[in-house]
Amino acid sequence: EVQLVESGGGLVQPGGSLRLSCAASGFTFSSYAMHWVRQAPGKGLEYVSAISSNGGSTYYANSVKGRFTISRDNSKNTLYLQMGSLRAEDMAVYYCARVLPSYVIDPWGQGTLVTVSS
Amino acid sequence: QSALTQPASVSGSPGQSITISCTGTSSDVGGYNYVSWYQQHPGKAPKLMIYDVSNRPSGVSNRFSGSKSGNTASLTISGLQAEDEADYYCSSYTSSSTPLVFGGGTKLTVL
């Protein structure tokens, strides 16, 4: 069974940092691009970042560029999102997701909640 | 970059059909057949319902169908059932600086 399990969310103060992890299983992790997508409370889905299968290419939404860094360790089947200079507007559930051809996202992880508050 | 445009809400009675639109531009929806639709129940992760405009993944009911005309994609749900009540999001590949853009989401209410 294909599974994505996020961890690392929690409460952080404005300006602080947090690293999210996503453990993948049930598929050949190194063969797939991966995305991070977030959802603020009561709001819609927002694309955050993407990374190619070998980690050689990365993409960021303008809202997080320069503050967030996506990376992956294919030997550990794990995706990361290093988040810095966190703001109130970064508060959201962060989903890890596998990217299929045609930019199809399937499956999604269960999400991890990041709360930014003093 | 701008999100794709979806109606905030739609509603229908059990057994009826509804259609949710997703409007973009020639740089995303209109330029590529890479439109997907996702269903999200409260407190749950999104679930893929339609990909490549009109294809259904294995296990998704054939009551769900997708189409596209110009810069607008559509999701149609026929024979509405109570369990279809959820939020629905479209997404598309885009040729802008980031490869993917989402719609703002549509809340489907089954009356």
Question: Per-residue pLDDT tens for B68-101?
Answer: 999 999 999 999 999 999 999 999 999 887 889 9
Chain B residue numbers touching A104 (CB-CB < 8 A): 34, 36, 48, 51-52
Give how far A16 is from chain B: nearest CA, Å. 25
**Strands A18-25, A45-51: parallel, antiparallel or unpaired by DSSP?**
unpaired
Which positions in chain B touch A42 (Cβ < 8 Å)? Answer: none
Q: Which of A47, A108, A111 sits opposite B100 (nearest CB)?
A: A47
pLDDT beyond 70 at B65: yes
pLDDT for B38-51, tens place per residue?
Answer: 999 999 999 999 99
Any B CB within 8 A of A62 CB: yes
Taking CA B52 as the corner, what is the angle to CA B47 and CA B58, rounded to the nearest 5 degrees?
A: 50
Across the interface, whether the CB atoms of B102 and A44 are under 8 A apart is answered: yes
A76 CB neighbour count, 10 Å cutoff: 12
Answer positive or negative: Cα dihedral of A66, A67, A70, A76: positive
Do B36 and A105 count as a contact with CB atoms less than 8 A apart? yes
Contact B98 A95 (CB under 8 A): no
Q: Looking at the DSSP assignment, which residues form a beta bridge with residue B41?
A: none
pLDDT tens, per residue, chain A with 118 residues: 999 999 999 999 999 999 999 999 999 999 999 999 999 999 999 999 999 999 999 999 999 999 999 999 999 999 999 999 999 999 999 999 999 988 999 999 999 999 999 9
Question: Exposed, middle or buried: residue B111 (CB in 10 Å: 0-12, 13-18, 19+)?
Answer: exposed
Q: Looking at residue B71, what DSSP letter applies? A: T
Q: What gap in Å lies between CA A20 and CA A37, rounded to an integer? A: 12
Nearest CA to B106 out of B88, B83, B91 is that of B88
Subunit contact B102:A61, Cβ cutoff 8 A? no
Asked if the Cβ–Cβ distance from A45 to B102 is below 8 Å, we say yes
**CA count, 13 A, side-chain hemisphere, A76:** 9
| Among A75, A109, A106, A112, CA closest to A90 | A112
Query: Which two three-digit tokens encode residue B2?
Result: 């701008």
Q: Are B91 and B50 in contact (CB under 8 A)?
A: no
- Token pair belonging to A44: 């819609």
How many residues are given for chain B?
A: 111
Query: What per-residue confidence (pLDDT) applies to B1?
Result: 54
Exposed, middle or buried, B72 (CB in 10 Å: 0-12/13-18/19+)?
middle
